[in-house]
Structure 1
Amino acid sequence: MDDSQHLNQEQLALLPTDEDVAFYEEHGWYISQKVLAEDIIDEAIQGSERYYRGERDTLLTISSGYSDWQPKDGYDVIRNNEFVSLQNKQLRFLALQPIIGAIASRLAKTKQIRLLDDQLVYKPPQDKNGKTAVGWHSDRAYWSTCSSHKLLTAWIPFHDCDELNGSLVVLDKSHKWSDIENTRFFNNHNLEDIEKQFSQQKREIIKVAIALKKGQISFHHCWTIHGSYPNYSNSFRLAIAVHLQDESNFYQPFWNHQGKQIHIIDELLCRKLPNGEPDFRDPSVFPVLWLEHNQV
């Protein structure tokens, strides 16, 4: 079976061109055309509302150790909830859309794309203090036990998104920077502080605010440093980041500079291999979005 049986002709025409892939490799990010139907996103919005009310279609096998906003945390803060597609059928339907996997497959030059993780991120409106900014970070810095350096993220806003309501911002070509393994400042709202550190390291900082229409997706390389601006608009901002594995990714033990072994929460969710290591191919936790020349 070929790829045409996954996507219709209209969708096939929306996949990245060779020039798009070259741009992604050079700059570390890519903006798709409008590839998602609005009704799928609208269903996901309803799913997010159910999730925030505490409704779950499926329960995780763990109850802590990951980001999971609760009403007791307050309503004037960023809501960051992980692994939502494993718990909510409407969010899962969005996150596993084949077109997402097909685009990622082209960009990463891999035959298979699997889910790794996801984050539903809500920003309340009218932020006057900058607390809804997301700090500069690279996703791969949080995934130390992944073997691949071709992982990537699909960022999907649930409505039109721009600088006013807190769009994603990438640092152009930062995936080529060296010594960024510890760039984990997601919760540091002061973007300028981290930018000063980058400047002191003689980095060339080129900020690109990603403006998207509903139905468009942005993709960024796992080492691309990114964050997002505060939401100054009068409406909430809601988006999901779908983190993706390429075919080659597998678990590898990792120790930090202090000699401490590092783990990621994904390891606790999935089955174990015969040697006792986590199986990053476990289909119940890391379902396949796209498999070239095969029906998924």
Structure 2
Amino acid sequence: MQTLTPRLTEAQLALLPTEEDIAFYEEHGWYISQKVIPDEVIDAAIQGSEKYYRGDRDYRLAVESGFSDWKPEDGDNIVRNNEFVSLQNQQLRLLALQPIIGAIAARLARTTQIRLLDDQLVYKPPSKKRQSAVGWHADGAYWATCSSPNLLTAWIPFHDCDETRGPLVVIDGSHKWSGLQDIRYFNQQNLTETEQKFYAPGRKITKVPMTLQKGQVSFHHRWTIHGSYSNYSTSPRLALAVHLQDAANHYRPFRNHQGKEIHIFDEVLCRKLANGDPDFSDPKVFPVLWTEASS
């Protein structure tokens, strides 16, 4: 399986977040990059997504069920959600592992290394009537066995994305709120109804759409509440969410409020440590995008 050499050019180094940008991210829980992904990489990823949707795979997972993975028989009039695509398709892998994505994430998380955690390819069909929203959620609520508080997600639209095309939307500063461990409403499309759960004294709900041009990437903290609007344009909306882990992240056992042991699918794919714990640094499943020595 081909991987990238995590090196940045001088031009790319100039695109990294400044200290002021990092402070903004730490305060607000999100950040929008300059144009950092070349058009040809995204165009190749579009071709890769079409290949993936046809059922063609460049690589096979050790376990091929138990995660979200839209197939043609599921129908065309729904939101398609396919996980772990960069472990199965070369063009999508090339996009997900861009070193510039890792370098930006490392700056924002103040870490010396960024590894892949997993990813999601999300397609929204165009419609002026059909709901294609993604419900409010915090990524961290799905990562209970990840130890680090600094995990983050890069969101990469494959085209210009304005508010009509169903962009990602974050709730500004929500990563600082408490009690987010159960914010898992990904499939609840009524954003207004779910939003009522967030009102509390001292909280201000400010929604910020990630309206990006092709080649820009948005980043959000693992506890930043986010969702996405329906696609009311005349064109499909296609994007890749790349979930990222910092150097300090490792597996930790976790039990929910009822005492039930919780696991995430990533644990099934990776090798085990000597003590039997999943190894969240397994390079076959969690390849490195960037390390401090790479700059």
TM-score by length of 1: 0.96
Structure 1 Cα separation of the partners of residues 146 and 232 of structure 2: 36
- Of stretches 64-73 and 149-158 in structure 1, the one that deviates more from structure 2 is 64-73
Matched residue type, 2:279: D
Structure 1 Cα separation of the partners of residues 238 and 284 of structure 2: 26
Match of 2:115 in 1: 114
Residue 274 of structure 2 is aligned to residue 253 of structure 1: no
SS in 1 for 2:248: coil
SS in 1 for 2:199: helix
Structure 2 Cα separation of the partners of residues 203 and 142 of structure 1: 23
Match of 1:33 in 2: 34
SS in 2 for 1:241: strand
- Of stretches 119-128 and 84-93 in structure 1, the one that deviates more from structure 2 is 119-128
Structure 2 Cα separation of the partners of residues 196 and 202 of structure 1: 14
Structure 2 Cα separation of the partners of residues 29 and 273 of structure 1: 33
Match of 1:215 in 2: 215
Match of 2:126 in 1: 125
Pair 1:258–1:127, CA change in 2 (3 A): farther
Residues 47-58 of structure 1: matches in 2 within 5 Å? Answer: 47-58=48-59
Tell me if structure 1 keeps the 8 A contact 2:111–2:246: yes
Match of 2:235 in 1: 235
SS in 1 for 2:51: helix
Which segments of structure 1 move beyond 4 Å, counting only runs of 4 or more?
Answer: none
Structure 2 Cα separation of the partners of residues 88 and 205 of structure 1: 38
Match of 2:73 in 1: 72
Structure 2 Cα separation of the partners of residues 294 and 43 of structure 1: 25
Structure 1 Cα separation of the partners of residues 88 and 21 of structure 2: 34
Match of 1:14 in 2: 15
SS in 2 for 1:254: coil
Tell me if structure 1 keeps the 8 A contact 2:8–2:294: no
SS in 1 for 2:293: coil
Residues 152-231 of structure 1: matches in 2 within 5 Å? Answer: 152-199=152-199, 203-231=203-231
Could you tell me how far 1:8 is from its partner in structure 2?
1.1
Structure 1 Cα separation of the partners of residues 39 and 179 of structure 2: 40
Could you tell me how far 1:280 is from its partner in structure 2?
0.2
Residues 78-117 of structure 1: matches in 2 within 5 Å? Answer: 78-117=79-118
Could you tell me how far 1:245 is from its partner in structure 2?
0.2
Structure 1 Cα separation of the partners of residues 130 and 157 of structure 2: 23
Matched residue type, 1:205: I
In the alignment, structure 1 segments of 5+ residues that lack a partner are none
Could you tell me how far 1:204 is from its partner in structure 2?
1.5
Match of 1:45 in 2: 46
SS in 2 for 1:261: coil
Structure 2 Cα separation of the partners of residues 129 and 238 of structure 1: 16
SS in 2 for 1:146: coil
Percent identity, please: 68
Matched residue type, 2:209: A
- Of stretches 239-248 and 195-204 in structure 1, the one that deviates more from structure 2 is 195-204
Could you tell me how far 1:127 is from its partner in structure 2?
4.4
Could you tell me how far 1:294 is from its partner in structure 2?
3.9
Q: CA-atom RMSD, angstroms?
A: 1.1
SS in 2 for 1:220: strand
Structure 2 Cα separation of the partners of residues 137 and 11 of structure 1: 32
Equivalent residues, number: 290
Structure 1 Cα separation of the partners of residues 96 and 8 of structure 2: 16
Could you tell me how far 1:65 is from its partner in structure 2?
1.1
In the alignment, structure 2 segments of 5+ residues that lack a partner are 1-5
- Of stretches 195-204 and 272-281 in structure 1, the one that deviates more from structure 2 is 195-204
SS in 2 for 1:262: coil
Could you tell me how far 1:203 is from its partner in structure 2?
3.0
Could you tell me how far 1:201 is from its partner in structure 2?
6.5
